[in-house]
Amino acid sequence: MLPYFRAAVVAKFDVMMLDPKYEIKKLSLKDFEEVNKQFVKYFVDKNTYCQTVRIPQDDFKQLHVKWIRNILEQNASFACYHKDSGKMIGFRLASIHDSNDTLTQVTEDTRYYPNVRTMQVFEHWLQKDIRQSLKANKIMMREMLLIDPEHLGKGLGRHFNKCSIEVAREKGCEYIIAMAATREAIQMHEKLGSKV
Protein backbone atom coordinates (compact mmCIF):
# COMPACT_ATOMS: atom_id res chain seq x y z
CA MET A 1 0.00 0.00 0.00
CA LEU A 2 1.19 3.53 -0.74
CA PRO A 3 2.23 5.52 2.31
CA TYR A 4 -0.02 8.44 3.02
CA PHE A 5 0.63 11.50 5.08
CA ARG A 6 -1.66 13.57 7.20
CA ALA A 7 -1.26 16.99 8.66
CA ALA A 8 -3.84 18.39 11.01
CA VAL A 9 -5.14 21.68 9.66
CA VAL A 10 -4.01 23.38 12.85
CA ALA A 11 -0.38 22.56 12.04
CA LYS A 12 1.98 25.47 11.47
CA PHE A 13 4.85 25.32 9.00
CA ASP A 14 7.99 27.39 9.33
CA VAL A 15 7.90 29.34 6.07
CA MET A 16 10.75 31.52 4.86
CA MET A 17 9.98 34.79 3.11
CA LEU A 18 8.84 34.40 -0.48
CA ASP A 19 11.36 35.87 -2.91
CA PRO A 20 9.83 39.17 -4.16
CA LYS A 21 10.20 38.04 -7.77
CA TYR A 22 7.49 35.40 -7.16
CA GLU A 23 3.78 35.74 -6.59
CA ILE A 24 1.42 32.98 -5.43
CA LYS A 25 -2.20 33.17 -6.57
CA LYS A 26 -5.25 30.98 -6.09
CA LEU A 27 -6.17 29.00 -9.21
CA SER A 28 -9.64 28.83 -10.73
CA LEU A 29 -11.21 27.31 -13.81
CA LYS A 30 -10.03 30.30 -15.90
CA ASP A 31 -6.45 29.02 -15.36
CA PHE A 32 -7.22 25.62 -16.89
CA GLU A 33 -5.33 26.09 -20.17
CA GLU A 34 -2.05 27.07 -18.47
CA VAL A 35 -2.30 24.34 -15.80
CA ASN A 36 -3.09 21.72 -18.43
CA LYS A 37 -0.17 22.92 -20.59
CA GLN A 38 2.23 22.55 -17.62
CA PHE A 39 0.72 19.17 -16.71
CA VAL A 40 1.26 17.87 -20.25
CA LYS A 41 4.80 19.30 -20.42
CA TYR A 42 6.01 17.78 -17.14
CA PHE A 43 3.89 14.63 -16.73
CA VAL A 44 2.48 13.45 -20.04
CA ASP A 45 5.37 14.31 -22.36
CA LYS A 46 7.80 12.61 -19.97
CA ASN A 47 5.72 9.49 -20.66
CA THR A 48 6.51 7.60 -17.42
CA TYR A 49 2.94 7.58 -16.09
CA CYS A 50 1.54 6.63 -19.50
CA GLN A 51 3.92 3.67 -19.66
CA THR A 52 3.05 2.58 -16.11
CA VAL A 53 -0.69 2.42 -16.74
CA ARG A 54 -0.35 1.38 -20.41
CA ILE A 55 -2.40 4.17 -21.91
CA PRO A 56 -1.68 6.17 -25.07
CA GLN A 57 -0.55 9.74 -24.36
CA ASP A 58 -3.46 11.36 -26.23
CA ASP A 59 -6.02 9.34 -24.28
CA PHE A 60 -4.25 10.16 -21.01
CA LYS A 61 -4.43 13.88 -21.86
CA GLN A 62 -8.18 13.58 -22.47
CA LEU A 63 -8.82 11.68 -19.23
CA HIS A 64 -7.03 14.33 -17.22
CA VAL A 65 -8.79 17.30 -18.79
CA LYS A 66 -11.92 16.53 -16.75
CA TRP A 67 -9.88 15.71 -13.62
CA ILE A 68 -7.99 19.03 -13.75
CA ARG A 69 -11.22 20.97 -14.42
CA ASN A 70 -12.94 19.33 -11.44
CA ILE A 71 -10.03 20.22 -9.16
CA LEU A 72 -9.83 23.84 -10.37
CA GLU A 73 -13.59 24.30 -9.82
CA GLN A 74 -13.03 23.70 -6.09
CA ASN A 75 -10.82 26.81 -5.71
CA ALA A 76 -8.38 24.99 -3.40
CA SER A 77 -5.29 25.09 -5.66
CA PHE A 78 -2.48 27.60 -6.15
CA ALA A 79 0.10 28.61 -8.71
CA CYS A 80 3.35 30.54 -8.46
CA TYR A 81 4.16 33.12 -11.11
CA HIS A 82 7.35 34.96 -11.92
CA LYS A 83 6.39 38.63 -11.50
CA ASP A 84 8.56 40.00 -14.30
CA SER A 85 7.61 37.51 -17.02
CA GLY A 86 4.15 36.53 -15.75
CA LYS A 87 5.14 32.90 -16.43
CA MET A 88 3.59 30.16 -14.29
CA ILE A 89 6.52 28.34 -12.70
CA GLY A 90 4.66 25.85 -10.55
CA PHE A 91 1.39 24.81 -8.98
CA ARG A 92 -0.15 22.79 -6.16
CA LEU A 93 -3.43 21.11 -7.06
CA ALA A 94 -5.66 20.14 -4.14
CA SER A 95 -9.18 18.80 -3.85
CA ILE A 96 -11.76 18.66 -1.08
CA HIS A 97 -13.47 15.35 -0.24
CA ASP A 98 -16.41 14.59 1.98
CA SER A 99 -18.97 11.82 2.44
CA ASN A 100 -20.80 12.85 -0.76
CA ASP A 101 -17.95 11.75 -3.08
CA THR A 102 -18.92 9.18 -5.71
CA LEU A 103 -17.21 6.96 -8.26
CA THR A 104 -19.34 8.20 -11.19
CA GLN A 105 -16.51 10.00 -12.97
CA VAL A 106 -14.14 7.08 -12.49
CA THR A 107 -16.45 4.53 -14.10
CA GLU A 108 -17.51 6.79 -16.99
CA ASP A 109 -14.07 8.09 -17.94
CA THR A 110 -11.93 5.01 -17.53
CA ARG A 111 -14.04 2.08 -18.71
CA TYR A 112 -11.63 1.38 -21.61
CA TYR A 113 -8.50 1.57 -19.44
CA PRO A 114 -8.64 -1.00 -16.66
CA ASN A 115 -5.24 -0.02 -15.20
CA VAL A 116 -6.28 3.64 -14.83
CA ARG A 117 -9.68 2.64 -13.51
CA THR A 118 -8.11 0.32 -10.93
CA MET A 119 -5.81 3.11 -9.72
CA GLN A 120 -8.66 5.64 -9.50
CA VAL A 121 -10.96 3.22 -7.67
CA PHE A 122 -8.13 2.48 -5.24
CA GLU A 123 -7.50 6.21 -4.66
CA HIS A 124 -11.23 6.82 -4.09
CA TRP A 125 -11.42 3.92 -1.65
CA LEU A 126 -8.27 5.14 0.14
CA GLN A 127 -9.67 8.68 0.49
CA LYS A 128 -12.88 7.28 1.96
CA ASP A 129 -10.96 4.89 4.24
CA ILE A 130 -8.67 7.69 5.46
CA ARG A 131 -11.66 9.94 6.20
CA GLN A 132 -13.35 7.16 8.15
CA SER A 133 -10.16 6.16 10.01
CA LEU A 134 -9.56 9.74 11.08
CA LYS A 135 -13.26 10.24 11.84
CA ALA A 136 -13.10 13.29 9.59
CA ASN A 137 -16.10 14.68 7.73
CA LYS A 138 -14.02 16.62 5.25
CA ILE A 139 -10.39 16.37 4.11
CA MET A 140 -8.16 18.13 1.62
CA MET A 141 -6.13 15.93 -0.73
CA ARG A 142 -2.82 17.27 -2.02
CA GLU A 143 -3.21 15.99 -5.56
CA MET A 144 -0.19 17.25 -7.43
CA LEU A 145 2.81 19.50 -6.93
CA LEU A 146 4.75 20.82 -9.89
CA ILE A 147 7.66 23.26 -9.75
CA ASP A 148 9.78 24.14 -12.76
CA PRO A 149 13.23 22.57 -12.14
CA GLU A 150 14.91 25.98 -12.61
CA HIS A 151 13.04 27.27 -9.54
CA LEU A 152 13.51 24.36 -7.12
CA GLY A 153 14.99 25.08 -3.69
CA LYS A 154 13.34 28.49 -3.37
CA GLY A 155 10.82 27.46 -0.68
CA LEU A 156 7.86 27.38 -3.07
CA GLY A 157 6.63 24.01 -1.75
CA ARG A 158 6.45 25.45 1.77
CA HIS A 159 4.49 28.46 0.52
CA PHE A 160 2.07 26.20 -1.35
CA ASN A 161 1.55 24.22 1.88
CA LYS A 162 0.90 27.40 3.86
CA CYS A 163 -1.73 28.43 1.29
CA SER A 164 -3.26 24.93 1.41
CA ILE A 165 -3.60 25.10 5.19
CA GLU A 166 -5.38 28.44 4.96
CA VAL A 167 -7.85 27.14 2.35
CA ALA A 168 -8.39 23.87 4.25
CA ARG A 169 -9.35 25.86 7.35
CA GLU A 170 -11.59 28.14 5.29
CA LYS A 171 -13.40 25.14 3.76
CA GLY A 172 -13.78 23.29 7.08
CA CYS A 173 -11.32 20.46 6.41
CA GLU A 174 -10.01 18.60 9.41
CA TYR A 175 -6.94 17.10 7.74
CA ILE A 176 -4.73 17.59 4.73
CA ILE A 177 -3.78 14.27 3.14
CA ALA A 178 -1.09 13.44 0.60
CA MET A 179 -0.17 10.12 -0.98
CA ALA A 180 3.44 9.48 -1.91
CA ALA A 181 4.80 6.72 -4.11
CA THR A 182 8.51 7.56 -4.23
CA ARG A 183 11.21 7.96 -1.61
CA GLU A 184 11.76 11.56 -2.77
CA ALA A 185 8.07 12.40 -2.34
CA ILE A 186 8.04 10.84 1.13
CA GLN A 187 11.09 12.87 2.17
CA MET A 188 9.55 16.06 0.78
CA HIS A 189 6.31 15.56 2.75
CA GLU A 190 8.24 14.83 5.94
CA LYS A 191 10.41 17.91 5.41
CA LEU A 192 7.23 19.98 5.09
CA GLY A 193 5.99 18.75 8.48
CA SER A 194 3.64 15.92 7.51
CA LYS A 195 3.29 12.83 9.67
CA VAL A 196 3.22 9.27 8.34
Q: Is residue 196 part of a domain?
A: no
Q: Is the CB of residue 143 less than 8 Å from the CB of residue 72?
A: no
Q: Domain tally for the chain?
A: 1
What angle do helix axes 32-39 and 57-73 make, rounded to 10 degrees?
140
Q: Supply the pLDDT for residue 88.
A: 93
Q: How far, in Å, CA of 51 to CA of 44, rounded?
A: 10
Q: Supply the pLDDT for residue 174.
A: 86
Domain that holds residue 80: 4-191
Q: Is residue 108 part of a domain?
A: yes
Residue 135 DSSP one-character state = T
CATH number reported for the structural domain that contains residue 156 in this entry = 3.40.630.30
Handedness of CA 131, 132, 133, 137 (dihedral sign): positive
Average pLDDT for 59-65: 74
pLDDT band at 10 (very low <50, low <70, confident <90, very high): very low
Look at residue 7 and tell me whether its pLDDT is greater than 50.
no
Q: Is residue 31 part of a domain?
A: yes
More confident residue, 105 or 43: 43
Helix ranges, 8-155 (H): 32-39, 48-53, 57-73, 104-109, 114-133
Q: Is residue 42 part of a domain?
A: yes
Q: Is residue 101 part of a domain?
A: yes
Q: Is residue 152 part of a domain?
A: yes
Q: Is residue 121 part of a domain?
A: yes
